[in-house]
Structure 1
Amino acid sequence: MKNTTAISFLKYFTATVLNSYSMLFFSNKKFFAIMVLLASFFNPYTGFAGLVATITAAIVAYFIGFSREQVKSGLYTYSATLVGLGMGTFYEFSMGFWILLVLATVLAVLLSAAFIAQLGKSNLPALSLAFIFTLWVVILSSKEFAVIGLTQRNIYWLNEMYAAGGTGLINFVQRVETIAMPDMLSGFLRSLSAILFQSNIAAGILLSIGLLFFSRIALTLMVAGYTIAILFIQLMDGYAGSVNYYNLGTNFMLVSVALGGFYIIPSVRSFFWSLITVPISYILVIALWKITYTWGLPVFSLPFCITVILFLFVLQLRKAGGKMVLTPIQYYSPEENLYRFTNNKERVLSDFYYYHLSLPFMGDWTVSQGYDGTITHKGDWGKALDFVITDKENKTYQGTGTEPEQYYCYNKPVLSPADGIVEEIIDYVEDNAIGGNNTQQNWGNTIIIKHAATLYTKLSHLKRGSFKVAKGAFVKKGDILATCGSSGRSPEPHLHFQVQATPYIDSKTLAYPLAYFLQQQNGNSIIKTYSVPLENNIVGNIIPNAQLQQAFDFKPGYIMKVTAAGYEEEAWEVMVSTYNETYFYCSRHHAYAYFINNGSMFYFTHYFGNQHTLLYLFYQAAYKIVLSTNKKITITDSFSQNIFATHPLKWFQDLLAPFFIFMKMKYTSMVIKDDDMLGGGNIVLKSYSQQYMPGSVKQKMLAGIEIQQGKLHGFNVAFNNNKIEASCKN
């Protein structure tokens, strides 16, 4: 037990240290963190001091008792890493130095926590503010300590390299330093290394390679920020003293990445504004230097912090979100931020943003008048829907059509579109004769239901005396409220439905989508999500299957064991996050698959961790499942754009992604077998994915899912003629 605890702590501690390095470049990738760590040791003394500070900060943050996940992410410790790198660059090593380094590290952790807490209240990042203030304190106070002295090592940094790696390392570094290359390129590489308090091409090359693998968008923004800074300085004939590699790297290149693709979803607009803010940061460098040099203090990354925080704060003041979107969920990768946002803004965000409203009837009805219709849906009352039932000849009645009873929709049940409380009922208006109109009581018999503080639905033209509920009653989605009639301004029986923000009978309408419904099209049922039916559409509700609902009803605490040839057995436990998100957790591979089940649909939202797992195969196979056995239903969705892409193609798409996404991954699922007539048979689902590119469509995955007696029995996934059969034990 003790060994297990020790190993767990060591993994946690290692992740904290590595993330402290990768966070310096807005990443959480371990391989990139290792490259950053190695690059810091091109100046061995600097690298060693940075590592000692990082380890110390990780220990301090752990024992203070901060959130384990936040400590592990490096949020509380990356500023201490910068403090260590800075002190290792400026000061000679001595006993006094190490004492001061430890104290400075503790201060950096405390300041990080304070800045994160305070700025976090306004959804703003702390960036490197803790590093700046800590190193300023060190610089000012160290002048009073006789045992702390400035170093001359940086003048003879090659001697340090020799001491660290001998002639082999020094020869390699010297060869790299003397490679013939354009001044712009060598300047870029040195500026990149300067973020780690270096000034050598070898470290810059290593970091560039790491950036290329970590994020093509980030590397592009680095290059763009550097180029704009150089061009602006030349154009303005700026002061040469401010054009050092540190400012180019920290205050210009990192501004471009932060605003172009990290805190803002990458796009043409984010690129434009990130490049506009680079010259602003340059102006701040000059202005702040005029202030700080009188105290003998460098400006460090303060212009970067001011520029980024100010711009993000101003964006939050917008009344409407605009087309430049602040990153809603941070995945620590510009590509992941972009692809997941693009993919999820419709399929996931709508599920959280909108209240789930359903169609207020059984069976298929036709929209006789849609939003902003030409008959009565006009002006402030235009966002409403009228429904009737039609036959194959598109008639709304049988026989002569001279009596209300001859109309198909007359006296049909009207259902509650969602849970709520009955706010108002009008039940005294007689039905009209066919062709008649009651303009004095134009809404006729009506029920208004309150679903939320400013969300009401109204159903009108109901039949007098048909109400099954009373005012003040609580109703559930699908409860029968009354029956369809022809009261009010209704020349023939029909159902009027609208959403409104206030509880009054004559309230203005509110444009609001229905969560899920089926639209009949060429003999097939097309699922529409968070949309509004159009005029003449034939629509109906999704009718869930009890066995499918049971099979995909994964409640917290549920554990499913999954086996397949060539794979180790996996146990998936259903858990709930602090944000009330439900997910599968595979402890063997530390993989997470987040999902939503809203009663009509089961679908995955995110996957994190090892992709060589059975959980990842199930994530792809059951990416989106409609909980109905209607074989006419075919559901389609989109994967994140890079899920099946090979590296050359993926990287090319990454470079173009902020401007144009040419590669799309489509997912399709359907029921192909249903022996569940009595509730105990088999149901087989089929799904597949296709990669769409200009001029080509390529199938990437084919899968099947088998349900037996309301339980997930197994699934199979085929890639490139390689088929994996998995069995599930509930």
Structure 2
Amino acid sequence: MKLIKWFSAAVLNSYAQLFFSNNKWFGLILLSITFLDFYVGILGLFCVLTTLVLAYVLGINQYSISQGFYGFNSLLVGIGLAIYFKPSISLVILISAAGILTLFISLSYEGFLAKYGLPFLSLPFITVFWLLRLSTRQFQSLGFSDRGIYVLNELYSLGGNKLVKIYEWINAFDIPSAIKAYLLSLGAIFFQQNVLAGFLACIGLFLYSRIAFSLSIIGFLIAYFFYTILGIHFNEVYFSYIGFNYILTSIALGGFFIIPNASSYIAQIFIIPIVVVVSISLQEIFNLFNLPVHSLPFNLVVLTVLYGLKFREDNRIGLSTIFWQQNSPEKNLYFFNNYTERFGNESSFPIYLPFYGEWVVTQGHNGEYTHKEDWKYAWDFEIIDEDGRTYKNNGLFVTDYYCYEKNILAPADGIIEDIIDDIEDNPIGIRNLENNWGNTIIIKHTEFLYTQMSHLKKGSITCSKGQSVKRGDILGKVGNSGNSPYPHLHFQIQSAPYVGSKTINYPLSYVYLKNQKKGKLFQVIIPEKGDKISYLTPNLILKKSFHFIVGEQLTFKDESGRDVLWTVKRDYYTLVKYIECEKSNSKAYFRLDDNMLQFTHFEGDKKSMLYYFYLASYKVSFGFTNRLELSDKIPVNMVFKPYSLLIHDFFAPFIPFLHCIYHLSYPDVNTGLISKPIKLKSSIVKTFFGKKVDSIEFELEEDQSGIKYLKVHNKRSKNEKWVVKS
């Protein structure tokens, strides 16, 4: 039963993939379109099944099979042959052979193009179909079909008078030439030259994706007007044979392989005319061989543009390519915007504060004293008291300064590159200009990433050159050596291994900023002068509760007493970790480090406990201080109902007006090593043009044994509570 369900999904996805989708309802609509000609529908389905069964038997990647990646080209080959030839045993044999050939051609294209990070699109279909069109000229047992000529007879045999009346009702409308050509172009994707097929495909496309629907119209109209402007002869039927190239190109480069936004929409104004020129040129060439161009223009232009974009040094015009394909322009857009807003500024290798406790930035980037020119990206740190002073007594001695002899820590894992540890401290107000940097430690973290800590105390450095260090290791103490009139820590990040090398603009990670009564935790930040900053030491209870390990299992009990089992897993292709619910088959993807748990994506049942846990603990810092509050944004498609997004989807690439805000509140007291349970309260607030329209509230309790329970309070439904089974 499970295998049948899996194959059914693979079949429907094979149809949906014609429009880059894995929406099974859309696939069902497209499947029904092929059955407007019963024999075409049957033979197209047969070709798909041939490919899928063979791929399964050969042990091809099951995920790729189930997503329809290998089936949609076979579908096009199958229905193409079924349209051209009369049903016969010979045709069935030919189509089965075509399905087998298409699979191996698809795998070959995939293997070649994957090296360049490119999709194989419908190149397998074009290759196989051309081969068969050329070879079948010698197959005398195959008779050419006259289907498509007597449309009413075919519709009557399929659906009787009702289907004929629907077709006549649609044709009775005085449809403008452009709209009719658009619908015929959609139908031509399935080799069907009738408005009904295009109309059904149009409805399915709208239900699947409003962005794809709008792009299909935009791409088509640009081509239509380009024909008009250049005076190219226009014929509805002829145009529809190549018109789908403009539709598919616009969807692909406007919202599927490229994130849909104003730039991607505007880009179609320049891309679609290129497709028109390529289409007309190729048609002239292939007419010599009596072969149709089919989707070749679409393939050539899309692959050329995607490949060309890989050579950019920056994304100055906003054409961002997909890095996690979700088979929906809307999902791609919402995920991309959310992910880049949350993680777009983070560094590839995090550098943390080189000290414990709260310090203040007394000189930041482009500082007024010494942080100039090549050394402008640096910080000076000191410790101040409640009155804002950096010293006690009268500050005449180095020992009066609060930061003097405080421990300096390794800001990240690395190897000690260089050390200076023989320069005496200066008396207050005196500078040692001959030894500008004073006692210094240089750490190599990665190639071209080094940190330098200077003005340390003589003889305080505890590490040696070439030694490996871990983040948080004590390396030395703050002093007053070098060009330093009073004790402070000079800290800079650089790309070279030498003392005093040119600095680079690189952020610090996981910094708690407290400038007013209320502080804020930053994942990455460039601290400025006057900022009071500190590192929040992880709370052991929170770290144990949320530090999920691959293979770990958690069992919850719902209010009815039923067990709900979760397992922590890893995708071994992407190395992304996720929690999977055995009952609902849902998955919650997350990022985890020593400081924080952050969920990035959810797939599955939005009534499951895992979904509510994903929302409740969307972002959890293991370290916290009194009344710390965290906030973040959640993609709107993760919270809003699909029907609520119908209108918003059209505007989302330009002006999104729906938002989901996550908020997490910590208790008053940081329990640290104390075993007292911790209650976290979080909420999800949905807004419309900035105004609150709905909310969900959560409560999570943790103790030394881990997560104890999750409570959910939704104003529109009853409260629910899940308890961890011990």
Give the TM-score of the pair, scaled to structure 2.
0.97
More divergent stretch after superposition (131-140 vs 32-41): 32-41
What is the CA-CA distance between 1:245 and the residue it aligns to? Answer: 4.8
3-state SS in 1 of match to 2:104: helix
Q: In the alignment, which residue of structure 2 is the partner of 1:339?
A: 334
Indicate the SS of the match to 1:517. Answer: strand
1:711 aligns with 2:706: yes
CA contact (8 A) 2:592 2:598 kept: yes
Q: Return the alpha-carbon distance in structure 1 between the equivalents of residues 644 and 371 of structure 2.
A: 50
Q: Does 1:136 align with 2:145?
A: no
Contact 2:242 2:295 (C-alpha < 8 Å) held by counterparts: no
- Kindly report the root-mean-square deviation, in angstroms, between the aligned alpha carbons of the 2 structures: 1.8
Q: Return the letter of the residue paired with 2:45.
A: L
Residue identity in the other structure for 2:599: F
What is the DSSP-based 3-state SS (H/G/I as helix, E as strand, rest coil) of the residue aligned with 1:487? coil
* Equivalent in the alignment of 1:401: 395
CA distance in 2, matches of 1:563, 1:246: 58
Q: Is the 8 A contact 2:627 2:669 kept in 1?
A: no
Equivalent pair of 2:210/2:649 in contact (CA under 8 Å): yes
1:689 corresponds to which letter in structure 2? Answer: I
Whether 1:359 and 2:353 are equivalent positions in the alignment is yes
**Partner Cα separation in structure 1 for residue 128 and residue 664 of structure 2:** 56
The residue aligned with 1:327 is 322
**1:294/1:242 CA distance change after superposition, 3 Å:** farther
* Residue in 2 that maps onto 1:23: 17
CA deviations over 1:541-570 (Å, ceiling 9, x no partner)? 011101111111211111112232369642
Deviation at 1:349, TM superposition (A): 5.1
State the partner residue of 2:89. 95
Of 644, 657, 666 in structure 2, the residue corresponding to residue 662 of structure 1 is 657
1:108 deviates by: 1.0
1:13 Cα offset (Å)? 1.3
Secondary structure of 1:240's aligned partner: coil
Task: Work out the CA distance in 1 between the residues paired with 2:625 and 2:359.
Answer: 17
Indicate which of 591, 594, 599 corresponds to 1:596. 591
Q: Distance in 2 between matches of 1:435 and 1:40?
A: 86
CA distance in 1: counterparts of 2:21 and 2:560, whole angstroms = 33
d(CA) in 2 for partners of 1:349 and 1:55?
A: 42
Letter in 1 for 2:148: N
Distance, in Å, in 1 between the alignment partners of 2:116 and 2:661 is 37
Conservation of the 8 A alpha-carbon contact between 1:229 and 1:248: no
Residue in 2 that maps onto 1:45: 39
SS of aligned partner of 2:75: helix
> Which of 374-383 and 478-487 deviates more?
374-383
Alpha carbons of 1:584 and 1:648: their partners in 2 closer, same or farther (altered >3 Å)?
closer
Cα gap change, 1:231 to 1:116, in 2 (>3 Å): same
Q: 1:614 to 1:38 in 2, by over 3 A?
A: same
Partner of 1:377: 371
User: SS of the residue aligned with 1:337?
Assistant: helix
Instruction: Give the conservation status (yes or no) of the 8 Å contact 1:421–1:475.
Output: yes
- Give the Cα separation in 1 of the matches to 2:297 and 2:44: 23
Is 2:639 the partner of 1:644? yes
For 1:702, give the aligned amino acid.
Answer: E
Change (3 A) 1:694 1:432: same
1:432 CA displacement: 1.1
2:408 — aligned with what? 414
Structure-1 residue corresponding to 2:648: 653
Q: Distance in 2 between matches of 1:224 and 1:209?
A: 16
Question: Which residue is equivalent to 1:680?
Answer: 675
Matched, 1:221 2:211: no
Q: Deviations over 1:230-289 (max 9, x none)?
A: 111111111336973544542111110000000001111111112321111111111101
Q: Single out whichever of 696-705 and 218-227 deviates more from structure 2.
A: 696-705
Distance in 2 (alpha carbons) for counterparts of 1:49 and 1:349: 48
**AA of the residue aligned to 1:448:** I
The 8 Å contact of residues 226 and 253 in structure 1, kept in 2 or not, is answered as yes
Supply the AA of the counterpart residue of 1:501.
Answer: S
Q: Does 1:58 align with 2:23?
A: no
Q: Which residue of 1 aligns with 2:604?
A: 609
Partner of residue 498, structure 1: 492
Question: Could you tell which deviates more after superposition, 667-676 or 331-340?
Answer: 667-676
How far the C-alpha of 1:647 sits from its partner, in A, is: 4.5
Return the match for 2:446 from 452, 457, 482: 452
Q: Which residue is 1:118 aligned to?
A: 112
Distance in 2 of aligned mates of 1:625 and 1:27: 34
Equivalent position of 2:285 in the other structure: 291
CA distance in 2, matches of 1:307, 1:41: 31
Secondary structure of the structure 2 residue equivalent to 1:688: strand
Could you say what secondary structure the match of 1:54 adopts?
helix
* Structure 1 gap segments, 5+ residues each: 1-6
Structure 1 residues 34-83: Cα deviation after superposition (integer angstroms, max 9, x where no partner): 11111221222222221111111101111222111111111122111111
Match of 1:441 in 2: 435
3-state SS in 1 of match to 2:124: helix
Which of residues 156, 160, 179 in structure 2 aligns to 1:166? 160
The AA in structure 2 aligned to 1:87 is L
More displaced 10-residue stretch of structure 1: 304-313 or 377-386 = 377-386
Mean Cα deviation higher: 38-47 or 448-457: 38-47
Change (3 A) 1:675 1:410: closer
Aligned-pair distance for 1:629? 4.3
**Which secondary structure does the structure 2 equivalent of 1:518 belong to?**
strand
Stretch deviating more after TM superposition (538-547 or 515-524): 515-524
Segments of structure 2 that go 5 or more residues without pairing to the other structure are none
Task: Check whether the contact 2:439–2:481 (CA below 8 A) recurs between aligned residues.
Answer: yes
* Correspondence for 1:463: 457
Q: Secondary structure at the match of 2:647?
A: helix
Deviation at residue 680 of structure 1 after TM alignment: 2.4
**1:153 maps to which residue?**
147
Question: In the alignment, what sits opposite 2:551?
Answer: 557
Task: Please point out which of 501, 523, 543 is paired with 2:537.
Answer: 543
| CA distance in structure 1 between the partners assigned to 2:585 and 2:436 by the alignment | 61
Task: Choose which of 714, 718, 724 in structure 1 pairs with 2:720.
Answer: 724
Q: How many Å apart are 1:168 and its aligned residue?
A: 2.4
For normalisation by structure 1, the TM-score amounts to: 0.96
- 625-634 or 477-486, larger mean C-alpha shift: 625-634
CA contact (8 A) 2:625 2:669 kept: no
The CA distance in 2 between the partners of 1:437 and 1:426, in whole Å, is 17
CA pair 602-536 structure 1, distance change in 2 beyond 3 A: same
For 2:674 and 2:386, locate their aligned partners in 1 and report how far apart those are by CA, in whole Å: 32
* Alignment of 1:266 onto 2:260: yes
Q: Distance in 1 between matches of 2:121 and 2:371?
A: 52
Q: Which amino acid aligns with 2:321?
A: L
Deviation at 1:348, TM superposition (A): 3.9
Q: Percent identity?
A: 36
- Of 686, 692, 697, 2:692 maps to 697
Distance apart, 1:89 and its partner CA: 1.2
